[in-house]
Amino acid sequence: MGKYMARRLFQSVLLFLVFITITWFLLYALPGDIVTQKFRTNPNIPPEAAETAIRRLGLDRPILEQFWTYVTGFFRGDFGVSFNQYPRPVTEIIAERLPRTIVLFLTAIVTYYWAGFIAGKYLAWRRGKRGEMAITVGGVGLLTVFYPWFALMAIWLLSAQLGLLPISKFLDPTEWRNAPFSANEVFMRLFWTVAITSALLFSVQYAANKIRDAAPARAIRLGGTVLVIVGFVFYWWGAGGVEIRPFAGDIAEHLVLPVLVLTLVNFAGIMLLTRSSMLETMREDFILTARAKGLPEKAVRDRHAARTALLPVTTSLVLAVATVIDGGIITEFVFSWPGMGEILISSVTSEDIPLAVTAFSFIGVMALVGHFVVDMLYGVLDPRIRVSSSQ
């Protein structure tokens, strides 16, 4: 496993180097020469000022030297200086935006994957019964719906008409006017508490699943879950959280609609995949055996069929990572969610090249890390891969 992991890690790093090289040269060194357009021939900047800016940004250096500076800087965490927000380093902008994207992205991927798997499981089990075709067509409809339009319709229905949720953006500025906290401070606190809570909940579930006996397993699952939730509530509703809570609530409220829309659009794909994977599994002999043993339907479905059907779905997640990031970019654009996708679009349209290269590289890193994690997960889930790789 360790050797396999190391090899995959090495491949990923190599792939990333190729990726960043192509991106950098595509954006900096192409004939259209955006740098000249942006500074030298820009009528709004006096020529001397343009020359100064070009010198300060290091754009007068030979192209290979610029590239080397960027790449070495990248691994030290220095991504250059933004063109449009001039003295502000790109690192600072990214540091603010990246967590916001990761939260949106992780919440959505967990939700839709879970929802899609459950839905697909039931759909396969009900094969040939009424409603199957309607659900399939509805699922395909959600999968292929024109996403920005769908998101805007959701805003119109849920926010504008029903007034349930905020329309867009990251927070409500009027409520934050006299806030004693910065948005990032609140957000990071929210981020860490939720991350720790979910990790604890997951470990409780995992521990409970490891125990064979039903009674202690149930006790651990119930007790652990309650304990973690009580801890979470105590943190936010206790003495420390009283002042910060309304602001955290505001951010959380703004998160609901993007995640909901992202989930709705993506879950159908997982649902249809789970369905076909389940249908294949259900033909296997061990399902017949499980039934013949007299196991209840629920146990056959959840313990035998769904467990095996999970494998191909996990592989599909490898490919889905890119799709979800795509969806994330549109989501951030439509909901004005200040994350990496929003940066990518705005920096590309305003020709802020250092920012665009870095945002795109980070999206590439997210895709690579996503693939890496899923590959590892697949190794854990499928014993065959584990065996062959350890040899």
Q: Which residues bind another protein (CB under 8 A)?
A: 15, 18-19, 23, 26-27, 30, 32, 34, 133, 136-137, 140-141, 143-150, 152-153, 155-157, 160-161, 167, 276, 280, 283, 319, 321-323, 325-326, 329-330, 333, 341, 344-345, 348-349, 351, 353, 356, 360, 363-364, 367-368, 371
Q: Which is nearer to another protein, 209 or 336 (CB)?
A: 336
Q: How far is the CB of 89 from another protein (least distance, A)?
A: 21
Q: Which is nearer to another protein, 375 or 382 (CB)?
A: 375
Q: How far is the CB of 261 from another protein (least distance, A)?
A: 14
Q: Which is nearer to another protein, 51 or 280 (CB)?
A: 280
Q: Which is nearer to another protein, 120 or 187 (CB)?
A: 120
Q: How far is the CB of 346 from another protein (least distance, A)?
A: 10
Own/partner pairs, 353-356, CB within 8 angstroms, 24+ separation: 353/27, 353/28, 353/34, 353/35, 353/38, 353/83, 354/57, 354/79, 354/80, 354/81, 354/82, 354/83, 354/90, 355/82, 355/83, 355/84, 355/90, 355/93, 356/27
Q: How far is the CB of 181 from another protein (least distance, A)?
A: 31
Cβ-based neighbour number of residue 77 at 10 Å: 10
Q: How far is the CB of 160 from another protein (least distance, A)?
A: 5
- The residues near 336 (Cβ < 8 Å, ≥ 6 apart) are 168, 169, 170, 342
C-alpha closest to that of 315 among 364, 384, 263, 387: 384
Separation between Cα atoms, residue 299 and residue 41, nearest integer Å: 71
Q: How far is the CB of 13 from another protein (least distance, A)?
A: 13
Q: Which is nearer to another protein, 1 or 369 (CB)?
A: 369
Q: Three-state SS for 242?
A: coil
Separation between Cα atoms, residue 104 and residue 237, nearest integer Å: 24
Q: How far is the CB of 343 from another protein (least distance, A)?
A: 11
Q: Which is nearer to another protein, 190 or 370 (CB)?
A: 370
- Give me the torsion for CA of 384, 385, 388, 391, rounded to 10°: -120
Contact 70, 357 (CB under 8 A): yes
Host H or E run for residue 138: helix 132-144
Tokens representing 231 are: 């801890």
Q: How far is the CB of 308 from another protein (least distance, A)?
A: 15
C-alpha closest to that of 205 among 194, 221, 228: 221
Q: Which is nearer to another protein, 220 or 322 (CB)?
A: 322
Q: Which is nearer to another protein, 341 or 379 (CB)?
A: 341
Separation between Cα atoms, residue 139 and residue 67, nearest integer Å: 46
Separation between Cα atoms, residue 81 and residue 234, nearest integer Å: 42
